[in-house]
Amino acid sequence: MTASGARPDTRGGVVLGLILVALGGILLLDRLTGLDLGSAGWPLFIIVPGILVLGWGVSISGREGIGLAIGGGITLIVGLILAVQNLTGLWATWAYAWALVGPGGPGLGMVAWGLAHGDRPLVTNGFRTLVTGIVLFAGFGLFFEGVIGLSGPPFLTSDAGPVALIILGVVVIGAAIIRGRDEAG
């Protein structure tokens, strides 16, 4: 028996069962409501397993749990990015959205597992990893959309460009001040 009360040999079956129930529920929702999940909601087939694997990982103690939580975080982030891209049609954003998957997904998994198990150093490291992914995403997004104009005209050539740079500068200054206080105290 494990701390959660389930025998280790039953966990895989429980997770597979939960995935099948979620998949069946999504398909039933599609049939009952007439929504076309095939064209609009297909990212749910990535988001839901990501949530389930993240939850499964968080429910397990030890290294196995951390690994599953990280895998679930990565899968969840990929699904969310695909959902946004599917809604907007901005598929070229993969040029910089990978930063949310690479550092961001593992950071999310580490934060979730650390919070669930009271591992403060893991939460801190996970948060830093998650923020690194977000900063990389913003920086590369600024370059690809603001300078090159990957998804349309470069926005740095519009009136919004200088405002975006000022806001980004204020955020960077604020982060540096907060980090300086944390290191000093």
What is the predicted pLDDT for the residue at 1? 47
What is the block-wise mean pLDDT of the chain (185 residues), using blocks of 10 residues? Answer: 53 70 76 70 86 89 90 95 90 93 94 94 94 91 85 77 82 83 72
Domain boundaries, given as residue ranges, for the chain: 8-151, 153-185
Checking 110-114 for CB contacts under 8 A at 24+ apart, the result is 110/66, 110/69, 110/70, 110/73, 112/54, 112/57, 112/58, 112/69, 112/73, 113/57, 113/58, 113/65, 113/66, 113/69, 113/70
**How far are the Cα atoms of 39, 81, 128, 130 from residue 93, in angstroms, in the given order?**
19, 9, 23, 19
Long-range contacts of range 163-172, CB-CB < 8 Å, 24 or more positions apart?
Answer: 168/138, 168/142
